[in-house]
Structure 1
């Protein structure tokens, strides 16, 4: 369950790389690190950045801390389940991609069977935690997200179409819906708008990364858009989705105050500037830095959702519309 690839390609040393103990035994730190790496914790961090503000907005106030904690624990388990199962399915791809060749299944630091059991247990645990501490709707949405990510994105779309991250990215949009459901016990229109913000954010975010690692994806046979289309077309699509994304954030204005609307507009203008700059560089045939846009997309999303949380916590009067 990914806001797609937010932590990939850094090559940092982790507990997975810790030296083995004498006699070839693996230290507890190494084992724990390997299983933690399966869950892709840095991807989960970005998911949590969107879940908490959704909970703030659902009540237009600071939510119950215990409810937030329970939702985050259950949501983290669900995301870890989806990510671990994704690693099991994509082990063959990960072996040939420089960006992913340090993952636990590639390095054989976790047996494939164990990784499968780990992912399934996390999924069952996420349902139990959300059901008993939050509500049934949040638990069902979490399981539906895991199933969508595995069967629709990983098994159905990823290796077959360059639109993989467009439709498959819907799984990464679900944490805001789960957060809203946790507070309200229902799903209302602002939750769908937040879903849309992340939905339209995912392609520019992921395609910028894929521009950098195009050769990796091509070698693995994954038809990401930068693999099958010209850089000019990819840059144009990034700009189009960026405009739709920024416009979509403003649809939340009726449920918020002027504070959120201002931050959303300013952050959007900032991001659009860099999206257009990337396209201009591609069109001129000069050196581009797509990873700069990739990292700025993370910052942009954090600004928008943090503005939602602050706006809701302060409790300023909502802008509203007569028909809402």
Structure 2
């Protein structure tokens, strides 16, 4: 983005700027995985309760996104990928983001307690706290393990959905958690590899900054190898089935192949082809998770129909 383009971003706040504060792309993954967790649970949920629960989970996710943008406004301004966000671009103030984030987060937790149950609401509240405080305010600027530990925040939504239906947790919901938890590091490290100097400029101790790209490439492979058995275990669990098993085999083969290609590269190769392999693995990681959870949903539908 040129300086001229950046200057054009300054100006009056629009409705879309408030939407952007909620991180809608991240919210879409939260909503989808939470909905799957709810729908594959063994306890049926009234459609209106299910709709309300997913709505309040989405609002909570949006609130935590706004809190993240409030706290990270200083480093967002230094990164090309994030400098156009509403706060660093000057279209909204940090106070706007803080107020919206607190209001939406509190509203979501209270309403989920009323619509579903206290346990699900408490788990949502803990997830917001973990993302906004433990990850954003503490881990992100402290340790290269920020995305490893902080990735737990993005792994809780299917557990929240499951808790809406059952009022608790189980081995199945923990396995869905672990799938996202193990997927998060290779997903973000692939992004960090081709974003080059963004994290250096912002002073964020991402693994690429503290240990270098070669070590990061090896870590991507290690975490992908650890992800494979988690995925296969989920496929043969009580909420898995033939669709999930086929999806796991195909998606893991593709993801693992990409991780191997990344691990074998050096920076000269990466520079020569403008990080094409890293970008391809990042794209693969995006639909890896959506298709895994979509497969779980398909197997749940097959069980309901009595076909498996």
Q: Establish whether TM, by shorter chain, passes 0.5.
A: yes
* Aligned match of 1:292: 280
Q: Does 1:265 align with 2:249?
A: yes
Residues in 1 aligned to 2:222 and 2:307: alpha-carbon distance in whole angstroms:
29
Q: Secondary structure at the match of 1:58?
A: coil
**Correspondence for 2:289 among 273, 297, 301:** 301
Mark the CA change 1:277 to 1:132 in structure 2 (over 3 Å): closer, same or farther.
Answer: same
Alignment of 1:104-253 (within 5 A): 104-252=86-234, 253=236
Contact 1:239 1:276 in 2 (8 A): yes
Equivalent position of 1:322 in the other structure: none
Q: Which deviates more from structure 2 when the two are superposed, residues 278-287 or residues 90-99?
A: 278-287
Change (3 A) 1:282 1:71: farther
Q: Distance in 2 between matches of 1:18 and 1:160?
A: 31
Partners of 2:156 and 2:57 in 1: how far apart?
A: 10
Deviation at 1:18, TM superposition (A): 8.5
CA distance in 1, matches of 2:307, 2:179: 19
- Cα drift, residue 313 of structure 1: 1.1
1:314 paired residue among 297, 302, 308: 302
Report the equivalent of 2:50: 68
Q: Which sections of structure 1, spanning at least 5 residues, go unmatched?
A: 1-8, 21-25, 320-324
Worse-matched range after superposition: 142-151 or 259-268: 259-268
Shift of the alpha carbon at 1:66? Answer: 2.1
* Paired residue secondary structure (1:281): coil
**Does residue 278 of the first structure (1) align with residue 262 of the second (2)?**
yes
**CA displacement at 1:19 relative to structure 2:** 9.6
Q: Distance in 2 between matches of 1:53 and 1:72?
A: 10
The Cα shift of 1:60 comes to: 7.7
Task: Please say if residues 87 and 105 of structure 1, whose CA atoms lie closer than 8 Å, have aligned partners that are also in contact.
Answer: yes
How far apart, CA to CA, are the structure 1 residues paired with 2:292 and 2:222?
19
Deviations 1:196-248 (A, max 9, x none): 00000000000011111230100110010111223221111101111111210
In structure 2, the partner of 1:5 is: none
> Which residue in 2 is equivalent to 1:99?
81
For 1:263 and 1:78, how far apart are their aligned partners in 2?
30
- CA deviation map 1:31-85 (0-9, x unaligned): 3111111111111111222122212221287x54323321221111111111111
Could you say which residue in structure 1 is the equivalent of 2:14? 31
CA contact (8 A) 2:76 2:88 kept: yes
Aligned-partner Cα distance in 2 for 1:248–1:183: 23
Compute the RMSD of aligned alpha carbons: 2.3
Q: Under a length normalisation based on structure 1, what TM-score does the superposition of the two structures give?
A: 0.85
- For residues 137-196 of structure 1, what are the alpha-carbon distances to aligned partners after superposition, in whole Å with 9 as ceiling and x for unaligned? 111111111111122111111011110000011000010110110111111111111100
* Counterpart position of 1:46: 29
Give the number of aligned pairs.
296
8 Å contact 1:39–1:84 — kept in the other structure? yes
Residues 255-285 of structure 1: per-residue CA shift (max 9 Å, x gap):
1223322221222112111121222233884
TM-score (ref. length: structure 2): 0.89
CA distance in 2 between partners of 1:65 and 1:19 (Å): 43
Residue 59 of structure 1 corresponds to 42
